[in-house]
Structure 1
Amino acid sequence: MTGVDQPSRPRRWWPVGLASAAAAALLGAVLPTTLLSGPDAGPPAPAASPRPGDPPAVLARWLGERIGAELHRQAGALLRGDEAAWLAVAEPPAQPDLRRRYAALRAMQVSVWQAEPVGVPEPVDGQPGQWQLRVVHRHCFVDPDCLPAPVQVQTRWRLVAGVPRLLAVDPVGGTTGSRPWEVSELAVTVGERTLVATTPALRGQLPALLRDAEEAARTADRYAVGTPPTRYVVYYAGAGEWRRWFGGGRAGWTAGYAVSTGGRHEVVLNSVGLRDGFVDDLLRHELTHVATLPVRDPSADETWWLVEGLAELAGAGGRPVARYQELPQVRRLVTGDWNGRLDGAAPPAGAGADRVAAGYGVGYLAVRHLALRYGEQALVAFVRAVLHDRRTLDEAARRAFGGHWAVLHEECVAAVRVAVAGD
């Protein structure tokens, strides 16, 4: 990723690469009472109204179905572009937030919007007459046949003349944090393979970002494990948004990352400090993560070099090794305290930018060796076997390359040492 500028030479920041999310796990407890997919799905028949003396559970079930019907109507309004109907479900204090969400989602060309209530409504402590209900929104942008990504929200309601009225929608986020369209105004541009969104203040950069993203998508598609993503989604964050989108809090050297949103990955770039001529490298790196990672990101040191090395190979854009910017950092690691193992390339927690750069470089040089010797198709088969099929490195190497991993590992390490010796 990009770097902190220094007087003599700009140093690259490095991509976090992955921001693992437990979105799928969060949804494990979902008990859908209503599935809402747009204007063509008929609302469910409401349950009988509760009578005086009925248990609270009866009221909760009845209210849940009524809320489901309201969410159904709201989903249809969003998909057909009816802002007034989208807002009609809410009380006035909630409408400014809903109006901003509507504008962002429509700008991103929302093509699927489903709402799944989680369980039944519960009374809000200390707020008589108010109810809270978690809802999972599953959504797609541009392409209606994508795998819908889930996001949970906490909604609050009250009954007005027997009709539930929405009081607030609060992001839940979990380990993933808030999506940009949940918390920010967005300016958006859409290409053949990518969607790029940023803040209104950075709108002027969208044409160049889209051009670079479209070119990066073609590279990422080449390394895709299985069918390439239907759409690469890229967010370009300003300083405040970088701290807020998807939870923020990244290491200071981070220029971008790919985050699992449950079923797919999306990319966030840090606009602060990004220099000209590096955005295309960064996009190739991050979009290759999107094209190659499984739903549940691998986090083991044993495969870190492979995950980041493949993304660096794509990011390098076919340039010769001699032009790889981090060779000096790799040399310092290799001639220093490196243990000579690829699984030792992963930087320890709290590592500085130079150590991170060296780890990425070791992965890049090792993966580049495999691609040159065995071809990109074999390399992608190896990545599939290791990251998606959870094969051991030795089994994956025998399947993809026809050799034992112990031997290939030593070849990769030798290629790393030769590359830094020749720098």
Structure 2
Amino acid sequence: MTDGVDQPRPRPRWPLWAVLAAVVALLGCALPAVLVAGVIQRVTDRPASARTTAAPDDPTTLAARRVGDRLTAQLDRQAGALLRGDRAGFLAIADRSARAALTRRYAALRALRVTVWRAERDGLPTAVPGRAGEWRQLVTFRYCLVVPDCPPSPVLVGTRWRDTGDAPVLLAVEESRSAQTGARPWEVSELAVAVGRRTLVATTPALRGKLPGLLAEAEAAAKVADLYAVAGPPPDRYRVFYAGPAEWRRWYGGGRPKWTGGYAVSVGGGHHEVVLNADALPATGAGELLRHELTHAASLPDRGYSVKRTWWLVEGLAEYAGADGAPVTRYDGLDEVRALLGGWNGRLDSLAPADADPADRAGAAYGVGYLAVRHLVDRYGEQRVLEFFRAVVHERRSLEDASEQVFGDPWGPLHDECVGYVRAVAA
């Protein structure tokens, strides 16, 4: 909207309606074909007469095993150097051409206070055709940030090496290219980081000045989000990344709908990493958006959740946490909800917005979800609503079964009550 000197500026409605952004994808990666082709070779047992015996390795497989053992030693050497803060040791296994990118990666991981870093080869290395002595290898890196004993988050990447005999030289490390998760910020960007008691907040050096305020807002939001951990303890640390325009297009694969202000993405090990769009935040701050997104990180299962039929419940709970007990009449999205009602079919399971929807349609969908959850809380209390959420989102029970089990009421009439409440509030 364009501001006019003769009319009041509307209260900014930040795009809280945050894409869940396929909060799945732990290990599935789609690396470039040139890097992946033929990487993994499997040795299978074959029957011989009446007995089952293992077929001997052929010379190619034997050579790959020997190279693989040497690669493992180099990766272990590099991991130890990273964890003890030895940059020279971290770079020592790499060719000069690879060191600039590795230096940036080392600095970002150290700024993020990496506490666990393990490298595991995925299958055997394969020789690069036409390039004598060069090998390709998929590697799964498992990492923890800040907390020393967390369940590590995995990321699968491709690497390329030159075998010199005793100690292979690392020629290149690809960024992860998971179709769902995409490249982590520490893979592709320089990072400035602030760490609090419950949160870690990172951004680029150009936006470093935002960190003190963001950290304070994140720490406050974490206290709210902790209350919505429905299936175990809250996250050990909430991980928040504040993205400028270039980073928004690149981190975790980019490509979010235009109306997105933030999202939470599962990275495995029970962790969700949150990204905020710097260009979409209001001057009043990121507190409400952070409460929303950190609640996703606290409440969602590790494998993520993307069932459109219950999208309203997932986003409605996050909106409810974002509102932080404010009266319904102060909810920013009531105007959008009011505009939607005339053309809405009255079904909660049809609310999920499309990527191409305008911002006001997306905002209205989030608003309806919030009001439906608010009605459930008003009727049954927060604890039973969280039990309902767990049954539906974590246990994948139907709304009908979960409603009977948790509320003792059939879902059909209760659904209609929620819709009636939405219409009454937005009237």
Name the TM-score, length of structure 1 as normaliser: 0.90
In structure 1, what is the Cα distance between the partners aligned to 2:140 and 2:58?
29
In structure 1, what is the Cα distance between the partners aligned to 2:259 and 2:155?
28
Relative distance call for 1:348 and 1:94 in structure 2 (3 A) is: closer
What are the Cα deviations for residues 23-66 of structure 1, in whole angstroms up to 9, with x where unaligned? 33528999899xxxxxxxxxxxxxxxxxxx97111110110011
In structure 2, what is the Cα distance between the partners aligned to 1:89 and 1:365?
56
**2:52 counterpart residue number:** none
**1:320 counterpart residue number:** 327
Relative distance call for 1:366 and 1:310 in structure 2 (3 A) is: same
Relative distance call for 1:399 and 1:363 in structure 2 (3 A) is: same
Cα pair 2:19 2:264 within 8 Å, conserved: yes
Task: Tell me the amino acid that sits aligned with residue 214 of structure 2.
Answer: L
Task: Tell me the amino acid that sits aligned with residue 134 of structure 1.
Answer: L
State the SS of the aligned residue for 2:282.
coil
**CA drift at 1:249:** 1.3
**2:80 counterpart residue number:** 76
In structure 1, what is the Cα distance between the partners aligned to 2:119 and 2:315?
35
In structure 1, what is the Cα distance between the partners aligned to 2:29 and 2:13?
40
**1:301 counterpart residue number:** 308
**1:289 counterpart residue number:** 296
Root-mean-square deviation (CA, aligned residues, Å) is 2.2
| 1:329 equivalent among 336, 349, 361 | 336
In structure 2, what is the Cα distance between the partners aligned to 1:161 and 1:63?
9
Q: Is structure 2 residue 100 aligned with structure 1 residue 93?
A: no
Q: How many residues align?
A: 398
Q: Within 5 Å, which residues of 2 pair with 1:341-352?
A: 341-352=347-358
Task: Tell me the amino acid that sits aligned with residue 276 of structure 2.
Answer: L
State the SS of the aligned residue for 2:241.
strand
| 2:22 equivalent among 17, 20, 23 | 20
**CA drift at 1:349:** 4.3
**CA drift at 1:283:** 0.2
**CA drift at 1:21:** 4.9
| 1:416 equivalent among 412, 417, 422 | 422
Structure 1 residue ranges (4+ consecutive) displaced by more than 4 angstroms after TM superposition = 4-7, 27-33
**2:403 counterpart residue number:** 397
| 1:365 equivalent among 358, 368, 371 | 371
More displaced, 230-239 or 255-264? 255-264
Structure 1: stretches of 5+ with no match in the other structure: 34-52
Cα pair 1:94 1:166 within 8 Å, conserved: yes
Q: Is structure 2 residue 140 aligned with structure 1 residue 133?
A: no
Q: Percent identity?
A: 57
**1:148 counterpart residue number:** 152
**1:193 counterpart residue number:** 198
**CA drift at 1:401:** 1.6
**1:280 counterpart residue number:** 287
**CA drift at 1:255:** 1.1
Cα pair 2:162 2:171 within 8 Å, conserved: yes
**1:42 counterpart residue number:** none
| 1:214 equivalent among 209, 214, 219 | 219
State the SS of the aligned residue for 1:233.
strand
Cα pair 1:14 1:353 within 8 Å, conserved: no
What are the Cα deviations for residues 356-397 of structure 1, in whole angstroms up to 9, with x where unaligned? 011000000000111122111111111110000011111111
Relative distance call for 1:167 and 1:21 in structure 2 (3 A) is: farther
In structure 1, what is the Cα distance between the partners aligned to 2:279 and 2:29?
34
